[in-house]
């Protein structure tokens, strides 16, 4: 299998260090808000990789972390920890906030049929290991203590190692890029990043360390937890392209500084998602959470889209291409998925004949070849659509298929559609849409209640509301109608 290694900027044959074992580390979510499309893409990309490696016979240890402390703005070493802020404002224990968003994230991943990783470590559960890692970097001479915080000495490191080898940036560019921020006076250079931060008095998440009561820098957790669970050298490290700098560059520097060598053999990055051609962000007004996609409750969406439509849409593009989301594009993906589902159902109903008049040879090999070429899921999908023609010809009585060919065709569809692409399809046809069905039913009840209210039929209106409340739904009246959650 060939994969594109971001570090060497080339496709390389994948040779595991310790076959049949494969170590895979992927940067997971920061749990201070609901998961959105930006979370869905890496999760689905590396789920595809995980499923495919497993199919090839590897025993994959897949580690995907939960960032729950010390996460500051991507380009800043300062600012209040977002979990701490929410906890303070809502008088919650910080771990309550963490658990709440972790549960929601896992629920969304389950809906997208993303398999759970083998290990899902929390940064907050690895403070001791992170302190030890900082100490190693200090001992090696690539960090310094300043007013209770510890910073990575980028200039010193860059003399001995290649800083910027992943992102292709050089130190002069970093000078120009670094914004002036609080705490800069503590650092030798503006581009030095924090390994340990002394907590300010209002900061509620902090731990004792040899340097201060404080918390670890964001980049540190991945260096620490990847090597803890996968060893000082492991096979694949993945994440979104937006993490390449500074996060992954810093990870490489920390690991080289502490251990004297690179830990990762293949770096893989999925490309980004845009919405109607624009970058996704709260300030653009196009920030759509997965929950909003599933319920259709966002002004940019024409209707709800099932988790399987989202998954299929993401897989229709190669992971290194950008993907542009729009309601129209999703509707097209939905139609494509319906066709695939219909063909799958027809395939189950075909009756074999003595001979085949349709040609289904080579489908398995073509799909394998596409997957082995840097996970080319769109090509796999196009091969499956090609074979759909043979299924429909037989289904319409215009051709025949032998027992042997039919069994092979069914096996290939089962393997690629269900096993590797991970599309949840039931053999009666129809993407499993239990979630959609119950959402549709609740919406319908609440529309009936709205109608009852309009007719001043308070008994019916209250009955619907009370029954839904008893069942665990929260119903809120809004000026345009209603909102509900479970």
Write out the residues near Zn ion by the rule CB under 5 A. 27, 222
Of 195 and 401, CB closest to Zn ion: 195
Minimum CB separation of residue 174 from Zn ion in Å reads 19
Of 26 and 412, CB closest to Zn ion: 26
Q: How far apart are CA 126 and CA 229, in angstroms?
A: 12
Of 63 and 360, CB closest to Zn ion: 63
Alpha-carbon torsion 8, 13, 18, 24, what sign? positive
Of 129 and 334, CB closest to Zn ion: 129
Of 198 and 269, CB closest to Zn ion: 269
Minimum CB separation of residue 114 from Zn ion in Å reads 18
Q: Could you tell me if 356 and 400 are in contact, meaning their C-beta atoms sit under 8 angstroms apart?
A: yes
Q: Could you tell me if 219 and 245 are in contact, meaning their C-beta atoms sit under 8 angstroms apart?
A: no
Minimum CB separation of residue 310 from Zn ion in Å reads 23
Sheet holding 273-275, edge to edge: 278-279, 273-275, 323-325
Of 164 and 304, CB closest to Zn ion: 164
Angle between helix axes 327-349 and 307-315 (nearest 10 degrees) is: 100
Minimum CB separation of residue 193 from Zn ion in Å reads 13
Please state whether beta strands 481-485 and 474-478 pair in parallel, antiparallel, or not at all (unpaired): antiparallel
Minimum CB separation of residue 67 from Zn ion in Å reads 7
Q: How far apart are CA 317 and CA 362, in angstroms?
A: 23
Minimum CB separation of residue 27 from Zn ion in Å reads 3
Q: How far apart are CA 342 and CA 72, in angstroms?
A: 47
Of 267 and 416, CB closest to Zn ion: 267
Q: How many residues does the chain have?
A: 486
Question: Given 3-state DSSP classes, what are the helix, strand and coil percentages for the chain, each rounded to the nearest 5?
Answer: 50, 15, 35
* Exposure letters 309-338 (e unless 16+ CB within 10 A, then b): bbbbbbbbbbbbeebebeeeebeebbebbe
Minimum CB separation of residue 221 from Zn ion in Å reads 7
């Amino acid at each position: 299998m060939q994969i594109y290694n971001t570090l060497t900027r080339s496709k390389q044959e994948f040779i595991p260090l310790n076959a049949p074992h494969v170590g895979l580390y992927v940067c997971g979510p920061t749990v201070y808000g609901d998961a959105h499309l930006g979370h869905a893409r890496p999760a689905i990309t590396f789920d595809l990789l995980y499923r495919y490696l497993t199919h090839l016979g590897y025993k994959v240890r897949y580690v995907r972390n939960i960032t729950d402390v010390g996460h500051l703005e991507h380009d800043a070493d300062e600012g209040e920890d977002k979990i701490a802020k929410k906890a303070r404002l809502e008088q919650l224990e910080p771990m309550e906030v963490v658990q709440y968003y972790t549960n929601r994230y896992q629920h969304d991943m389950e809906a997208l049929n993303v398999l759970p990783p083998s290990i899902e470590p929390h940064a907050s559960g690895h403070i001791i290991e992170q302190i030890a890692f900082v100490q190693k970097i200090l001992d090696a001479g690539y960090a310094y203590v300043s007013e209770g915080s510890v910073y990575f000495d980028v200039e010193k490191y860059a003399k001995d190692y290649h800083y910027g080898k992943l992102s292709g940036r050089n130190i002069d560019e970093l000078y120009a890029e670094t914004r002036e921020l609080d705490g800069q006076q503590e650092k030798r250079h503006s581009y030095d990043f924090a390994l340990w931060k002394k907590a300010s008095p209002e900061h509620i998440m902090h731990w004792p360390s040899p340097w201060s009561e404080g918390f670890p820098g964001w980049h540190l957790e991945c260096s620490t937890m990847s090597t803890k669970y996968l060893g000082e050298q492991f096979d694949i490290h993945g994440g979104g392209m937006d993490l390449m700098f500074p996060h992954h560059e810093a990870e490489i520097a920390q690991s080289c500084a502490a251990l004297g060598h690179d830990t990762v053999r293949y770096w893989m990055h999925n490309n980004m998602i845009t919405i109607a051609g624009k970058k996704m962000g709260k300030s653009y007004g196009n920030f759509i959470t997965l929950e909003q996609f599933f319920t259709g409750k966002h002004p940019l969406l024409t209707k709800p889209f099932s988790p399987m439509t989202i998954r299929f849409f993401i897989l229709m593009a190669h992971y290194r291409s950008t993907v542009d989301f729009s309601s129209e594009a999703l509707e097209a993906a939905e139609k494509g998925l319906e066709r695939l589902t219909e063909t799958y159902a027809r395939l189950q109903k075909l009756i074999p004949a003595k001979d085949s008049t349709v040609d289904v040879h080579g489908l398995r090999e073509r799909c394998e070849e596409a997957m082995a070429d840097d996970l080319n899921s769109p090509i796999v999908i196009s091969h499956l659509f090609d074979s759909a023609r043979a299924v429909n010809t037989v289904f319409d009585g215009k051709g025949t298929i032998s027992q042997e060919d039919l069994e092979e065709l069914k096996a290939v569809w089962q393997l690629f559609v269900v096993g590797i692409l991970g599309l949840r399809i039931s053999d009666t046809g129809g993407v499993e849409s239990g979630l959609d069905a119950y959402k549709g039913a609740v919406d319908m009840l609440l529309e009936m209640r709205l109608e009852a209210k309009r007719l001043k039929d308070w008994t019916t209106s209250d009955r619907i509301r009370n029954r839904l409340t008893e069942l665990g739904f929260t119903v809120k009246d809004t000026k345009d109608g209603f909102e509900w959650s479970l």
